[in-house]
Amino acid sequence: MNDAAFQQCINPACGQTFAVEEVKVACTRCGSLLDIKYDWSRLPALKSLNYFEHRWATKGTETEGRIDFSGVWRFRELFPFYRTESDIVTIGEGRTTLQTADLLAKQMHMRPGHLLLQYEGLNPSGSFKDNGMTAAFTHARMVGAHKVACASTGNTSASLAMFASLAEMEGIVFIGSGKISFGKLSQALDYGAKTLQIQGDFDACLRRIRQIAIDPRMGVYLMNSVNPFRLEGQKSIMLRILEARDWEPPDWIIVPGGNLGNCSAFAKAYMELKELGLVKKVPRLAVINAAGANTLNVLVNDRKLTWQGGNFDPTIIQKHYAVLDESNYYPHTIASAIEISRPVNLPKALRALEFMNGVVREVTDEEILEHRAMVARWGFGCEPASAASVAGLRKLLEEQVISADESVVCILTGHELKDPNATVKYHTGVDMKVAQDLAPRETPHGKLSNPPVQVADDLKAIVRALGVDPDKVDLSAYNASAAKPGVPVAEF
Ligand code: F0G
């Protein structure tokens, strides 16, 4: 047992702790989100971040090498929650690059050397999610899970399906009907995950999967970013940026905001590095929403919601969600990955904004599409959601919140080839989506054909689709124990 690591409720009024071996989707005492915490005094001391450099040259051929080869696990001393290195599930994730983008910087009227792009689309499944999945699968293996599941707008499902296949676990993904790009759907099917197309959006899928995962009888291990182990892996994005800059933090980190796992993980990385005395400076954070999915922007900028050391006012959130419910609001943006109006990591994001002196902005679909095209024209390209970070940078430069001589890293969260529809439509005006009717037109007959299953947004139907007879389980217990829609976290 690894007792220097534990889980802890983020609500300071609760602070309940749990062993790392426990599987939780929230604090069972108060319903808040959980953090993975470490008693650093009981772990070998790290004197400097230079320590990690000796792992750069590892080829990844034998077991020890495979762990060093991973761009996540080569920093494993900073998330030591696993029991032994044999628990670690790695597929060579996190070998991503930080590129100085001088051509793009020129377009943005920034000086050379000041704009950097962190290409997380270079991960094996094509997005930053692999950083988190490797950590959550490691925990899943540690606790003996066999069935893993997620709700997804695309990237999470592809990543989960890839890891599940290689870790020999059963992968289940919930996707909203018509809410996933073809590239991502194809990955989930191809890697063999059971794919349920729920008639609803991402928020509905996440609500359903949390209802399922909270019941131990279903034996489902939840892989969305409410799982705190996911965020441990996503901290490595900050570490790789530091590594590429000779351990010098940039002035700004800009990231698109969807479920708000990344920004939460980034701040946690810096909180720990600061606590350990491994960095002197903490960058500022900018989280960029799409205008059609702008919950964080509304709450922070219009409603003045702040973390306040954990004593934030939850009624501000509840009121906002009540307005969304009353107006039957559904988020809508071309940036499908961040089409989320009830972000599960909201409290952690508030904490991140406080710690990193952060700002939040929203950008329109038009701004996203123009900046996506610019990244492609003067960079390696990225998917629409990722370009929200660059569109957000433009806005913050115009507002003079960021000055042209500050160093800025925009996180490009996903690969350009995720959503070629958006790109083709931008360049040609042709909407390929029209040709993409997800209902199979003929019975697929490939030896490994794995068609998605269409399911109503209905718990009974979902449980049946998962192979369990809904009349044999007491579904009222699911409904009672499940997080309320929209207030997934903590009513503290
Ligand atoms: N960028 C991309 C490319 C994403 O796929 C996502 C989330 C985000 C940004 C948002 O990140 O949640 O950390 O704020 N995609 C999820 C999915 C929802 O299902 O793939 P966040």
Which pTM does this prediction carry?
A: 0.94
Is residue 256 left, alpha or beta, with left meaning phi > 0 and alpha meaning psi from -120 to 50? Answer: beta
d(CA 187, CA 31): 33
Query: Is the predicted pLDDT of residue 477 greater than 60, yes or no?
Result: no
Which atom of ligand 1 has the smallest separation from the CA of 262?
Answer: 13
453-466, pLDDT tens digit by residue? Answer: 989 999 999 999 99
What are the residue ranges of helices labelled H in 285-361? 295-297, 314-326, 346-355
Which atom of ligand 1 has the smallest separation from the CA of 121?
Answer: 3
204-239, pLDDT tens digit by residue? Answer: 999 999 888 877 788 899 999 999 999 999 999 999
pLDDT the model gives residue 181: 81
145-163, pLDDT tens digit by residue? Answer: 999 999 998 999 999 999 9
Q: Whose CA is nearest to atom 15 of ligand 1?
A: 337
Query: Sorting pLDDT into bands at 50, 70 and 90, what band is 2?
Result: low
Centroid of ligand 1 to alpha carbon of 46 (angstroms):
32
Query: Sorting pLDDT into bands at 50, 70 and 90, what band is 64?
Result: low
Q: For 42-46, what is the mean pLDDT?
A: 93
pLDDT the model gives residue 481: 45
Which atom of ligand 1 has the smallest separation from the CA of 159?
Answer: 20
pLDDT the model gives residue 110: 96
Instruction: Please tell me whether residue 359 adopts helix, strand or coil conformation.
Output: strand
pLDDT the model gives residue 99: 97
Centroid of ligand 1 to alpha carbon of 443 (angstroms):
32
Q: Whose CA is nearest to atom 12 of ligand 1?
A: 259
Alpha carbon 387 to chain centroid, angstroms: 16
Q: For 112-135, what is the mean pLDDT?
A: 98
Centroid of ligand 1 to alpha carbon of 256 (angstroms):
8
Q: Residues lining ligand 1, judged by CB closer than 6 Å?
A: 127, 152-156, 225, 256-262, 337-338, 383, 385-386, 413-414
pLDDT the model gives residue 487: 34
Which atom of ligand 1 has the smallest separation from the CA of 156?
Answer: 20
CB 147 within 8 A of CB 169: yes
d(CA 351, CA 329): 27
Q: For 412-440, what is the mean pLDDT?
A: 81
Query: Sorting pLDDT into bands at 50, 70 and 90, what band is 492?
Result: very low
> Largest alpha-carbon pair distance within the chain?
65
Which atom of ligand 1 has the smallest separation from the CA of 150?
Answer: 19
Q: For 168-172, what is the mean pLDDT?
A: 97
Q: Whose CA is nearest to atom 1 of ligand 1?
A: 413
DSSP state of 252: E
Query: Is the predicted pLDDT of residue 1 greater than 50, yes or no?
Result: no
Query: Is the predicted pLDDT of residue 434 greater than 80, yes or no?
Result: no
pLDDT the model gives residue 422: 86
